[in-house]
């Protein structure tokens, strides 16, 4: 495995360490969406961690699970309690889930000490502890003291240096910590896609801003055969090319960077696609007056909120010969039906291609679920920010400690 810039590194994996009969601390990412009645609306993140949990149970381990959930302010809040998650875990695993009263308190520590082989203890929401996001030393050590083995299976937070993700791992030697099955598969998948893609390799990049994806763009250009830019970020590139983009989203200070990226693509022979038309609106609202227009004719004061029909056809055609497609970021303001057509068409085009298709980013994952194309994608990453950082070529803080020398 590598750090995506080509440096060879190997990850310690769960199947390669001896966990038999041990107490295992598993950091999961159970930050699932819930409705107003606290019903889990999508339990994919819980289901994807089950192989790791089951493997530990099959090896007679006692299992302590930790996760964050929502954004509590740093103390116990009933709204962010893991009760619904404990219930869903119970339904899925068909075994009792002991829910600790808090993250760390005397009773939790006692529950962890008393935990027997085959039993599961779920700690309360990690973000109830202020020290979690500060990577607090004492918290990291207290969590580490609860177990013999540390497993990170939380790809979605592995780009964060938090106590239960990064700090805790320092307290275990490499024979007593590892990447869980989910984490290992996400990292391997992204690594192979970037390092050894079947060509043509096409990357679709969208979303609101260039700034959030600048590093990713720099890292992608030398690796892909084609790059397709949509969403709000396209307008900075279009303005850089001299187009009048009206009130569309634009980061003027990044115009020089946009030019640099396009120049590099040109030099490397990478085909660079930008929208040729847009759905322009007279305001950022689903009530706004909207029409399709070419890039050359965006009315004064209007803004492009989706790619237009000609662009959808153009992009779909550019995807036709792809053998690998990496997609991160919607083509427009897909949350509003009026501006979701472009993203929907691209979703269908990606889904119906014969390529290996990888979708990364929370919005894009949400989008392909809405368009019904989810099952047709080869791989949908559970972590938006983390997958972006991998594409940027970074070693994630939560993964660093699991690398074999």
Residues found near ligand AMP in the complex (CB under 6 A): 207-209, 212, 231-232, 249, 304-305, 329-330, 332-333, 335, 361, 363
Q: Which two tokens stand for residue 113?
A: 């000490």
Alpha-helix residue ranges (DSSP H) falling in 196-254: 214-220, 234-240
Taking the complex as a whole, the smallest distance from the CB of residue 302 to ligand AMP amounts, in Å, to 12
For 317, other C-beta atoms within 10 Å of its C-beta total: 11
Half-sphere exposure of 320 (CA within 13 A, CB side): 6
DSSP code string of 269-294:
T-EEE--SEEEEESSSSTTS-EEEEE
Taking the complex as a whole, the smallest distance from the CB of residue 214 to ligand AMP amounts, in Å, to 11
Q: Which is nearer to ligand AMP, 131 or 332 (CB)?
A: 332
Question: Taking a C-beta distance cutoff of 8 angstroms, is the pair 311, 346 a contact?
Answer: no
Q: Which is nearer to ligand AMP, 2 or 212 (CB)?
A: 212
Q: Which two tokens stand for residue 344?
A: 């929907």
The helix (run of H) or strand (run of E) holding residue 92 is helix 83-93
Q: Which is nearer to ligand AMP, 232 or 308 (CB)?
A: 232
Tell me the residue number closest to ligand AMP, measured at CB: 207
What does the alpha-carbon distance between residue 341 and residue 336 come to, in Å, rounded to a whole number?
10
- Residues classed as catalytic: 45, 209, 362, 385
Q: Which is nearer to ligand AMP, 278 or 402 (CB)?
A: 278
Question: Taking a C-beta distance cutoff of 8 angstroms, is the pair 183, 152 a contact?
Answer: yes
Taking the complex as a whole, the smallest distance from the CB of residue 282 to ligand AMP amounts, in Å, to 14
Taking the complex as a whole, the smallest distance from the CB of residue 314 to ligand AMP amounts, in Å, to 17
Q: Which of 309, 311, 391, 315 is nearest to 353 (CA)?
A: 315
Q: Which is nearer to ligand AMP, 66 or 210 (CB)?
A: 210
Sheet containing strand 379-380, edge to edge, reads 271-273, 226-229, 201-205, 324-328, 356-359, 379-380
Q: Which is nearer to ligand AMP, 126 or 229 (CB)?
A: 229
Taking the complex as a whole, the smallest distance from the CB of residue 217 to ligand AMP amounts, in Å, to 12
Question: Taking a C-beta distance cutoff of 8 angstroms, is the pair 24, 56 a contact?
Answer: yes
Taking the complex as a whole, the smallest distance from the CB of residue 383 to ligand AMP amounts, in Å, to 13
**In Å, what is the CA distance from 309 to each residue of 238, 292, 300?**
17, 8, 21
What does the alpha-carbon distance between residue 246 and residue 367 come to, in Å, rounded to a whole number?
27
């Amino acid at each position: 495995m590598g750090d995506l810039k080509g440096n060879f590194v190997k990850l310690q994996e769960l199947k390669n360490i001896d966990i038999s009969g041990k107490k295992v601390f598993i950091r999961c990412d159970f930050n699932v969406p819930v409705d107003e009645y606290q019903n889990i609306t999508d339990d994919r993140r819980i289901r994807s961690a089950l192989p790791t949990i089951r493997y530990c149970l099959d090896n007679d381990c006692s299992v302590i699970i930790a996760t964050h959930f929502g954004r509590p302010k740093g103390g116990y809040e009933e709204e962010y309690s893991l009760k619904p998650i404990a219930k869903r875990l119970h339904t899925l695993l068909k075994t009792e889930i002991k829910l600790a009263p808090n993250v760390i308190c005397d009773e939790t520590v006692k529950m962890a000490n008393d935990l027997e082989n085959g039993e599961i203890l779920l700690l309360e929401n990690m973000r109830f502890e202020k020290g979690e996001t500060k990577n607090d030393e004492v918290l990291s050590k207290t969590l580490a003291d609860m177990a013999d083995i540390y497993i990170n299976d939380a790809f979605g937070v592995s780009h964060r240096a938090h106590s239960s993700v990064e700090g805790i791992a320092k307290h275990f030697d490499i024979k007593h910590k590892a990447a869980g099955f989910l984490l290992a598969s996400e990292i391997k998948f992204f690594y192979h896609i970037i390092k050894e893609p079947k060509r043509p390799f096409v990357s679709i990049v969208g979303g609101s801003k260039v700034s959030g994806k600048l590093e990713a763009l720099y890292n992608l250009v030398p690796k892909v055969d084609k790059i397709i830019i949509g969403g709000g970020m396209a307008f900075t590139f279009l303005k850089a090319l001299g187009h009048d983009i009206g009130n569309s989203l634009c980061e003027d200070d990044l115009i020089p960077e946009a030019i640099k990226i396009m120049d590099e693509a040109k030099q490397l022979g990478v085909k660079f696609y930008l929208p040729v038309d847009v759905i322009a609106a007279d305001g950022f609202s689903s009530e706004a007056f909207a029409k399709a227009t070419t890039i050359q004719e965006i009315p004064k004061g209007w803004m492009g909120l989706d790619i237009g029909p000609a662009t959808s056809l153009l992009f779909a055609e550019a995807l036709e010969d792809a053998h690998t497609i990496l997609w991160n970021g919607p083509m427009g303001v897909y949350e509003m039906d009026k501006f979701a057509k472009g993203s929907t068409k691209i979703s269908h085009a990606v889904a119906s291609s014969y390529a290996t298709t990888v979708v990364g980013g929370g919005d894009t994952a949400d989008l392909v679920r809405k368009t019904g194309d989810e099952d047709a994608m080869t791989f949908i990453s559970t972590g938006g920010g983390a997958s972006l950082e991998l594409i940027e070529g970074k070693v994630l803080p939560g993964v660093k400690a699991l690398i074999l020398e």
